[in-house]
Amino acid sequence: MTRALAGFLMMMVLAGAARAEDLVSGISQDIIEITSNYTGTDIVVFGAIERAEQAQGRAIVVVVRGPNTLLTVRRRDRVAGVWVNRDSAKFDGMPSYYYLASTEPVDSIAPPRVLARHGVGTEYLQPSAVGSHHDARPFREAALRHLKQDGLYKEAPGTIDFLSETLFRTRIPVPAEVARGQYNVEVYLFRDGEVVSAQSTPLFIDQTGIERRLFNLANNAPLAYGLICVFMAMLLGWISSVLFRRPA
Amino acid sequence: MEIYLPVAEMSVTWLVMIGLGLGVGFLSGMFGVGGGFLMTPLLIFSGIPSTVAVATTLSHVTASSMSGALAQWRKQAIDFTMAGVMLSGGLVGTLLGVWLFAHLRRQGQMDLIVSLTYVIMLGSIGAIMLRESLTTLQAYRSGVTSSSRPVNHVWIHRLPLKMRFRQSRLYISVIPPIALGFFVGALGAIMGIGGGFIIVPAMIYLLRMPTNVVMGTSLIQIIALTAVTTVLQATSNYSVDIVLAGLLVMGGVVGAQLGVRAGAKLRGEQLRLLLAVVVLTVCFGLLWGLIATPRDVYSLTLGSP
């Protein structure tokens, strides 16, 4: 993340100095509030290219990154007929959510070196630390496979709509099972395999209302919270017993 | 139809969760077991993180046991002395279990140990109950009235610290009930269960308690144990989801009442036969999960282990 950020800042400086094509972008909402009926939502990312040159050789990539997390991958092996967790590998500093929308597949936009530097494309995401006693590659592939299956990592090439020569827009789904915290919406403008401009906007996903209060109670006053749970269970048990009592 | 769970941090269909509570609660009321051994695997199967499933199931068990216990209490079918003695061992066991839970989770062997323990416990208990109830039913049919075997477990009667349990009409050492309570307490914290499916057969076959007081006594001791464990889990793991607990409990208490009624219509042997079948089914399901070739040998965990 820090590496990506450093690269991003450097590139911003370079882009500013060159006074070449520039990018302006925004998102439809910068806070997503999780309420009791929250089942996921969509955000719209839109932008415009200033001082646009010809469309040839140009590509737009929009990346939404969730807060960083630790990924633990375990492999099961058969021991005496039973499948047991044996080897494991840990990847730290990986985004808990990653959605990429682009004008074309990332591999045809820029060389792997550039993609890896900016963390563009699920294959090019670099963990900040790898903990493993053996070859971590199959574990890394397994992690990506699981994340894609669960809808937490996704690449959607060809989903950016151009409303005019320079005006674009894309719709990004935020599923129900996402971590709370600060997300980053990054928009990249590529030209001939290099990033010429980029912009990052924070997006906050957090609980509100009663959910928020319950979550806070569970974490700040766990004893009271636990007692409330027990009391509720006993009370409901008692009520049902009274309600269902047959006149003897 | 969807509701967001603040601690599990995910959405579920609330009707499904109430239904789950109802179904498992029905079995609880019928057999006098908490139903945790069914609820925990079912919750994990529906995508709830296993830590939340284990901790939250306890509330469901408290509630359905409460509702069942009150019904038994009115029938005066509770041996409070026995429950108290078992509980003294149970509380120590719970503390050990919560500690062991955290340790196993760090090792990444939690799921294996839980499944193996379930398979061994459910398999042996289910087999014993099945055999017992089948021979009793057979004897019933062929007209042989007395099925009481010569009193075995002689060693139990040689143990010191004997105590009179009036309600159970027993005069036995307090060591077996305390040991049983300790064992179930430890297991309960690890597996997210009240332990009824272990206590009930152990009371019948090991302590030789009369079947009519077994249900109520096991329920009352389960209530106390799960209440303590819920608070311990809430304060040490922050993994009790009150919204999920509420949904399960609402279904569970109604189910438990219906179950008690259904159970009253059946004879003891028939009840035991049915419970044996349920226990063995869960056992084979878990065994299959251990030996069947997994679709993907790799598994992924997000966040701190």
**Per-chain mean pLDDT for chain A:** 85
In the predicted model, is pLDDT for residue A170 greater than 50? yes
Residue of B nearest to A33 (CA): B4
Residue B34: predicted pLDDT: 67
Q: Do A223 and B109 touch (CB under 8 A)?
A: no
Instruction: Check whether A164 has a pLDDT greater than 50.
Output: yes
User: Cβ B6–A218 below 8 Å, yes or no?
Assistant: yes
Residue among A36, A73, A222 minimizing CB distance to B3: A36
The beta-carbon neighbor of A73 closest among B9, B233, B298 is: B298
Chains A and B form CB pairs within 8 A to the count of: 191
Give the nearest partner residue to A142 out of B2, B300, B303, using CB atoms: B300
Residue A233 with chain B: CB contacts under 8 Å = 59-60, 62-63, 66, 227, 230, 245, 249
Residue A229: per-residue pLDDT: 92
- Closest approach of chain A CAs to the CA of B106, in angstroms? 11
pLDDT digits (tens, 9 = 90+) for A93-112: 899 999 999 999 999 999 99
Task: Return the bridge partners of A53, or none.
Answer: none
Residues of B in contact with A71 (CB under 8 A): 300-302
User: What whole-number percentage of chain A has pLDDT above 90?
Assistant: 43
Q: A51-65, A174-188, B104-118: which range is least confident on average?
A: B104-118
- Our CA-based measurement puts residue A106 at a distance from the nearest CA of chain B, in whole angstroms, of 26
Contact A153, A147 (CB under 8 A): yes
**Distance (Å) from the C-alpha of residue A72 to the closest C-alpha of chain B?**
5
**A11 falls in which pLDDT band (50, 70, 90)?**
low
C-beta atoms of A233 and B300 within 8 A? no
Long-range Cβ pairs for the range B280-284 (8 Å, 24+): B280/B122, B280/B123, B280/B126, B280/B127, B280/B130, B282/B37, B282/B38, B282/B41, B282/B118, B282/B122, B283/B118, B283/B119, B283/B122, B283/B123, B283/B126
Flag whether the pTM goes above 0.95. no
pLDDT of amino acid B75: 80
Give the pLDDT score at B138: 82
pLDDT at A5: 56
What pLDDT shows up at residue A235? Answer: 92
Q: Is A88 on the interface with B (CB under 8 A)?
A: yes
Chain B residue with minimum CA distance to A81: B291
Provide mean pLDDT across the span A151-174: 91
The percent of residues above 70 in pLDDT, for chain A, comes to 90
Q: Which of B67, B222, B239 to mutate to test binding with chain A, by most A CBs within 10 Å of its CB?
A: B67
Note the pLDDT of residue B297: 84
Question: How far apart are the CA of A31 and the nearest CA of chain B, in angstroms?
Answer: 17
CA B167 to chain CA centroid, nearest Å: 23
Amino acid at B87: L
Q: Chain B partners of A221 at a C-beta cutoff of 8 Å?
A: none
The amino acid present at A65, given as its one-letter code, is R
For residue B131, which amino acid is it? R
Residue B236 has a pLDDT of 80
CB-CB under 8 Å, B11 with A233: no
Chain B touched by A211 (CB under 8 Å): yes
Q: How confident is the model at residue B304, as a pLDDT?
A: 64
- Low-confidence spans in chain B with pLDDT less than 70: 32-34, 143-157, 304-305
Which residue pairs, CB below 8 angstroms and at least 24 apart, start in A131-135?
A131/A89, A131/A90, A131/A91, A131/A92, A132/A88, A132/A89, A132/A90, A133/A87, A134/A87, A134/A89
Check residue B82 and give its pLDDT: 87
Q: Please tell me the predicted confidence (pLDDT) of residue B104.
A: 78
**Interfacial A residues in 5-24 facing B (CB < 8 Å):** none
| pLDDT reported for residue A33 | 87
**Quick one: pLDDT band at residue A148, thresholds 50, 70, 90?**
very high
Question: A103, A59 in Cβ contact below 8 A?
Answer: yes
A161–chain B nearest CA distance, Å: 31
Q: Which of A 93-112 lie inside 8 A of B, CB atoms?
A: 96
- Phi (first) and psi of residue B205, to 5 degrees: -95, -30
**Contact yes or no for A76 and B299 at CB 8 A:** yes
The verdict on a CB contact (< 8 Å) between B11 and A238 is: no
Distance CA B19, CA A216 (A): 28
* Contact (CB<8Å) B2/A176: yes
Contact A241 B245 (CB under 8 A): no
Structure confidence at residue B167 (pLDDT):
75
- Per DSSP, what are the bridge partners of residue A63? A100, A186
Contact criterion met (CB < 8 Å) for B305 and A70: yes
